[in-house]
């Protein structure tokens, strides 16, 4: 509420002393004359004096129409009969009267639209008249200005030239808890003394304000309702061209919100949004301070890098929302477990399905710390391992944990980033070994990782035709005749030498170079079998297909293109897939397999028995062959479990009428044992031949007179 919109009469009635009343009148933005009961002028306020249109006659206090240059019409010089109007109001009913619109002539002869208000007030049991003049154009301007101020969340006030706070906006009233009428009786200096605690001496603030016309600083506000908050206050002094003070303008900004926003920003930048756990940045800082602490007091710490197993499959099957649900549940489970343990730890979420725990040990003996961290890692693995209930169904997950104890060694230079990547390397090892286990970092892993990097580099720069070759290994029937060849790639790198496919294929799958490699192999293999089929029309070739290659969007189109281009007969080609292929996107995988089969290819499941334990998918798939994994063959005679597995795979193949291949045959006993179990089993292994180059293979097995396989 501002002075021009609140009835001055009301406010005068509330004012205690006559002096105060005069003070308020004097600072009113309306032109005001206080009249006695008999219309004698008691006071004329500053505003009215400023208009310059009030002419007091020296010898009398009695109000006359001549004192005001008021006209009834804008252009015609018809004077408004002020005294008659006042008298008629005094004789009429009611305490408040309003004139019609009148025109006030300013000293510069401008006509301003005004209305007069006459109010009757009692003061100390005496009757007064308050005649106020409201300037319509000024009011409209002030209204607009006020609206603008009120729309602002920053507290604002404007003072009169003498410093009285005449125009506070709503935000200023809210912040200070004071109402407009109280403020209008206060100068901004009174307000500073009443509510504001400055961080510098008051005199300094004032001298800055007066000399530089501006002062700003952080202050503390103490409100009437005993609230207290930090704020930014700025006061500007506006002067006219002659350097007379016109107004002071104050801006008061509550810093509480800003501080809260700052805290929120901090939270966003240091905490994970999904789980509310510390994020990587915060963890990074904490590792840095642990490194410093270790330097100071020889304390020992560990970083556990936790990767959830199989989350990708859960995401692919149920969608990312389900994956997020799982992450939240794991975060809760681990937090709860940590709260039950006595260790000093921080749990953080790194990215995707990776978490980390920073662990501070109380021990200093390296071996003890190692055992302690190993035990702790096991506890975490047990805590995470299990089923989780998601809206889409229940899923199972486990964790692979890589841990890195630091200080690492005196020779190794490391910071938080290195600790994270060392623990990550160890986690990678744990995953490689099948997951659901822990692995402790040691410096040999750095060498291993470097080798991997070398491989990636070499793969990216490899020239397929110059460095790669395909070798062939025979598959023989029960009579020892080679009926088929498995294509196995060989890489001879100019610097690294011969690199085994079991080393570089996983790396090439991760970097997707396998797509290019796989295409190259298929092309070569198709040309080769086409050539061999001229002499041996029934001879077959088997080609390994990586899951990454298989799931590539254009895989089927590429195969169709290659068949057209090479004119190979797909009926002579077996595509070897692993069980893992069928887990991801099972429906699409099934469609792709059906498509391949409709083209004439046969499908073999490689390394059978090691992967996905459920055999239910076999019922639905149009496959032709199972390849028993060599791990079961190697210990066939010694290990009854392996024997049992082999027996059940044989049974399965028989019941589904599938061809069966046993790979990794190295001894005559293995041959005998397998043939005794299943006569028409096909055999493959070093016992018959190592994988060999095409020309050797052709000479030994493809020419009609040489089709019988010999032991190597």
What are the DSSP E strand ranges found in 361-430? 386-390, 393-406
**Cβ 689 vs Cβ 474: under 8 Å:** yes
Token digits of residue 451: 């080798």
| Residues 381-420 contacting Mg ion, CB under 5 A | none
Residue 544 contacts ligand C2E per CB under 6 A: yes
Among 47, 377, 400, 473, which residue sits at the site for ligand C2E (rule: CB under 6 A)? 473
Cα–Cα dist 345/635, whole Å = 45
474 in contact with ligand C2E (CB under 6 A)? no
Nearest to 492 by CA among 453, 521, 466, 471: 466
Question: Hey, what long-range contacts does 381-389 have (CB within 8 A, 24 or more apart)?
Answer: 381/436, 381/437, 381/438, 383/333, 383/334, 383/337, 384/306, 384/308, 384/330, 384/333, 384/334, 385/436, 388/325, 388/326, 388/329, 388/330, 389/329
Residue 52 backbone zone (phi > 0: left; psi -120 to 50: alpha; other: beta)? left
**From candidates 339, 500, 553, 613, binder to ligand C2E by CB under 6 A:** 500
Number of residues that bind ligand C2E (CB under 6 A): 24
Of the listed pieces 247-255, 370-378, 450-458, 662-670, which binds ligand C2E according to CB under 6 A? 662-670
Q: How far is CA 330 from CA 190, 389, 393, 403, 494, in A?
A: 59, 11, 16, 19, 47
Do 104 and 112 meet the contact criterion of CB atoms below 8 Å apart?
yes
Q: Please give the size of the binding site for Mg ion, defined by CB under 5 A.
A: 4
The one segment of 204-212, 514-522, 544-552, 690-698 that binds Mg ion by CB under 5 A? 544-552
Asked if 505 interacts with ligand C2E (CB under 6 A), we say: yes
Residue 489 binding result from Mg ion, ligand C2E, none, given CB thresholds of 5 to 8 Å by partner type: ligand C2E
User: Closest residue to ligand C2E, Cβ-based?
Assistant: 685
Does residue number 664 form part of the binding site for ligand C2E (CB under 6 A)? Answer: yes
As measured in angstroms, the least distance from the Cβ of 545 to ligand C2E is 6
Cα 130 to Cα 8, 97, 376, 549: the distances in Å are 9, 10, 86, 94
Measured CA to CA, the distance from residue 67 to residue 48 in angstroms comes to: 12
β-pairing, 468-476 vs 482-493, is antiparallel
Of 295-303, 397-405, 486-494, 588-596, the segment contacting ligand C2E by CB under 6 A is 486-494
Across 169-213, where does the E strand assignment appear? 196-197
CB atoms within 10 A of CB 208: 16
Q: Is 465 in the site for ligand C2E (CB under 6 A)?
A: no
Least Å distance between CB 610 and Mg ion? Answer: 9
Binder among 606, 625, 642, 698 for ligand C2E (CB under 6 A)? 606
Instruction: Read off the tokens for 421.
Output: 């990547």
602 belongs to the binding site for Mg ion (CB under 5 A):
no
* Nearest-angstrom CA–CA distance, 482 and 113: 114
Q: How far is the CB of 391 from ligand C2E (least distance, A)?
A: 37
Q: Please tell me whether residue 518 binds ligand C2E under the rule CB under 6 A.
A: yes
Residue 502, interface with ligand C2E (CB under 6 A)? Answer: yes
Q: Which of 29, 606, 625, 698 binds Mg ion (CB under 5 A)?
A: 606
> Residue 708 Cβ, how far from ligand C2E at the closest point, in Å?
18
Give the residue with the Cβ less far from ligand C2E, 440 or 505.
Answer: 505
Residue 416 sits in the site that holds ligand C2E (CB under 6 A): no
Q: Does 607 bind Mg ion (CB under 5 A)?
A: yes
609 binds ligand C2E (CB under 6 A): no
The answer to whether 637 and 673 are in contact (CB under 8 A) is yes
Binding residues among 62-81 for ligand C2E as defined by CB under 6 A: none
Q: Which stretch binds ligand C2E (CB under 6 A): 102-110, 397-405, 434-442, 659-667?
A: 659-667
The option from ligand C2E, Mg ion, none interacting with 666 (CB < 5 to 8 A, set by class) reads: ligand C2E
State the angle between helix axes of 416-432 and 444-460 in degrees (0 to 180), rounded to the nearest 10: 80
Chain residues in the site for Mg ion (CB under 5 A): 544, 576, 606-607
Chain residues in the site for ligand C2E (CB under 6 A): 473, 487-489, 500-502, 505, 518, 521, 544-546, 576, 606-607, 630, 663-666, 685-686, 691
């Amino acid at each position: 509420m501002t002075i021009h919109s609140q009835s001055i009469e009301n406010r005068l009635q509330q004012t205690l002393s006559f002096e105060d009343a005069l003070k308020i009148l004097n600072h009113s933005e309306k032109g005001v004359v206080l009249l006695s009961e008999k219309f004698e002028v008691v006071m004329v306020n500053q505003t009215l004096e400023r208009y310059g249109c009030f002419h007091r006659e020296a010898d009398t206090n009695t109000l006359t129409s001549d004192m005001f240059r008021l006209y009834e019409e804008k252009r015609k010089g018809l004077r408004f009969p002020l005294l008659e109007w006042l008298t008629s109001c005094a004789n009429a009913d009611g305490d408040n009267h309003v004139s019609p619109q009148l025109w006030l002539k300013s000293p510069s002869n401008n006509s301003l639209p005004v209305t007069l208000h006459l109010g009757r007030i009692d003061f100390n049991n005496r009757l007064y008249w308050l005649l106020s003049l409201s300037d319509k154009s000024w009011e409209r301007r002030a209204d607009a200005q006020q609206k603008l101020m009120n729309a602002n969340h920053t507290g604002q006030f404007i003072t009169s030239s003498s410093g009285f706070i005449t125009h506070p906006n709503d935000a200023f009233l809210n912040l200070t808890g004071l109402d407009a009428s109280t403020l209008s009786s206060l100068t901004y200096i009174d307000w500073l003394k009443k509510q504001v605690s400055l961080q510098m001496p008051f005199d300094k603030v004032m001298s800055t304000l007066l000399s530089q016309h501006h002062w700003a600083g952080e202050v503390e506000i103490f409100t009437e309702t005993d609230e207290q908050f930090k704020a930014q206050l700025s006061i500007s002094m506006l002067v006219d061209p002659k350097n007379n003070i016109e107004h002071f303008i104050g801006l008061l900004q509550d810093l509480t919100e800003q501080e809260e926003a700052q805290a929120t920003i901090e939270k966003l930048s240091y905490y994970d949004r999904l789980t509310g756990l510390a994020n990587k940045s915060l963890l990074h800082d904490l590792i840095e301070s642990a490194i410093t602490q270790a330097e100071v007091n020889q304390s020992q710490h560990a970083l556990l890098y936790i990767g959830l197993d199989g989350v990708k499959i859960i995401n692919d099957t149920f969608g990312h929302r389900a994956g997020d649900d799982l992450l939240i549940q794991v975060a809760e489970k681990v937090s709860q477990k940590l709260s039950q343990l006595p260790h000093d730890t921080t749990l953080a979420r790194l990215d995707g399905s990776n978490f980390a725990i920073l662990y501070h040990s109380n021990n200093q003996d390296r071996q003890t710390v190692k055992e302690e961290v190993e035990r702790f890692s096991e506890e975490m693995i047990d805590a995470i391992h299990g089923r989780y209930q998601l809206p889409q169904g229940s899923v199972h997950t486990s964790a692979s944990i890589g841990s890195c104890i630091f200080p690492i060694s005196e020779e190794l230079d490391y910071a938080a980033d290195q600790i994270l990547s060392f623990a990550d390397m160890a986690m990678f090892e744990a995953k490689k070994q099948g997951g659901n286990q822990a692995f402790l970092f040691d410096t040999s892993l750095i060498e291993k990782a470097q080798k991997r990097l070398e491989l990636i580099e070499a793969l990216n720069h490899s020239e397929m035709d110059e460095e790669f070759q395909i070798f062939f290994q025979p598959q023989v029937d029960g009579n020892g005749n080679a009926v088929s060849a498995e294509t196995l790639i060989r890489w001879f790198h100019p610097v690294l030498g011969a690199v085994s496919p079991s080393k570089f294929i996983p790396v090439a799958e991760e970097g997707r170079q396998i797509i290019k490699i796989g295409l190259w192999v298929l092309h070569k293999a198709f040309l080769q079998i086409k050539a061999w089929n001229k002499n041996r029309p029934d001879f077959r070739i088997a080609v390994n297909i990586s899951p990454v290659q298989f799931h590539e969007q254009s895989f089927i189109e590429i195969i169709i293109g290659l068949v057209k281009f090479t004119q190979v007969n797909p009926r002579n080609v077996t595509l070897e897939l692993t069980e893992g292929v069928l887990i991801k996107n099972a429906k699409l995988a099934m469609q792709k397999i059906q498509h391949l089969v409709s083209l004439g290819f046969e499908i073999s499941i490689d390394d059978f028995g090691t992967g996905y334990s459920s055999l239910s998918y076999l019922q639905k798939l149009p496959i032709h062959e199972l390849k028993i994994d060599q791990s079961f063959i190697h210990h066939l005679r010694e290990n009854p479990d392996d024997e049992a597995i082999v027996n059940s795979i044989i049974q399965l193949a028989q019941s589904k009428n599938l061809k069966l291949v046993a790979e990794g045959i190295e001894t005559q006993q293995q041959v005998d044992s397998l043939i005794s179990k299943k006569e028409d089993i096909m055999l493959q292994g070093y016992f018959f031949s190592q994988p060999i180059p095409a020309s050797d293979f052709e000479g030994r097995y493809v020419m009609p007179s040489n089709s019988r396989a010999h032991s190597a």
